[in-house]
Amino acid sequence: MQPKMRAAILASAAAVLLGSTVPARVHPHVFAEARLDVMVAPDQRVKSLRHVWRFDELFSSTVLMEFDKNSDLKLDDEELKDVADTVFQSLAEYDYFQFVTADGKNMEMKAPAQLMAYFEQEQLIILFESEPKEPLQLSGNINFGVYDPTFYTAIDFVEDENMAVENLPASCTRSVIRPDPDEALAQNQATLTEAFFNDPAGTNLSKIFATRLELNCKTQG
């Protein structure tokens, strides 16, 4: 695979630096509308996170051209598997763009068993499901989000309902937080260092811009 195409499929290439300010210097090149479903078990532990990403038509057409090995202008099952395998392998080092915190502590997620890829209305759709590495009880403050640490991909939850919880306990409240970019920058000036401009992936700046699902649950016990 050509290196340029591989970078796009990863959706995690080094960000492009263009201007003098953060929004101008680092900006996304791939766009995806997303849905996140938090699956809750009967014991009020997080069972899994289910992700659906629908990519923009321009990127989707690029994927089609690259992976359409038999040149029939569509991707058959084997070609779609190649797309899914490429994304699966390449996003591993970025934890599949997921972040989860419990009372401010980062909670690690297992790698998904597999990714599925298909096309619908000329757009690439990626689906996968992952589980917490350690038991994650719905207690205290828990945040879930999706972001690309390199700024290469913009993952957008268009509606608040696209960040959902199945079997949300009555002891929990749900909020969708959409940070204001100007406020986020003002509150994180210490992050804006020369190191960031040299290596955007080495910072958490894109994380502070990410839309997140916040659950506040009464402590059990």
Q: What digits encode the pLDDT tens for the residues 35-74?
A: 999 999 999 999 999 999 999 999 999 999 999 999 999 9
What token pair was written down for 93?
């080092």
Q: What is residue 145's predicted lDDT score, i.e. its pLDDT? A: 96
Q: For the residues of 113-135, what is the DSSP string, one character each?
A: S-EEEEEETTEEEEEEEE-BSS-
Within the chain, residue ranges assigned H as helices are 3-10, 22-25, 57-67, 77-90, 181-187, 194-198, 205-209
Q: What is residue 24's predicted lDDT score, i.e. its pLDDT? A: 36
**85: how many CB neighbours lie within 10 A of its CB?**
13
β-pair type (163-166, 30-40): parallel
**pTM of the predicted structure, to 2 decimals:** 0.82
Residues of the chain with pLDDT under 50: 1-25, 201-202
Q: What is residue 25's predicted lDDT score, i.e. its pLDDT? A: 44
**Spatial separation of the C-alpha atoms in residues 60 and 123, rounded to whole Å:** 5
The answer to whether 146 touches 135, Cβ cutoff 8 Å, is: no
Q: What is residue 179's predicted lDDT score, i.e. its pLDDT? A: 86
Q: Exposed/middle/buried for 214, CB within 10 Å: 0-12, 13-18, 19+? A: middle
**Spatial separation of the C-alpha atoms in residues 203 and 3, rounded to whole Å:** 24
Which residues fall within 8 angstroms of residue 166, CB to CB, at 6 or more apart? 37, 38, 39, 40
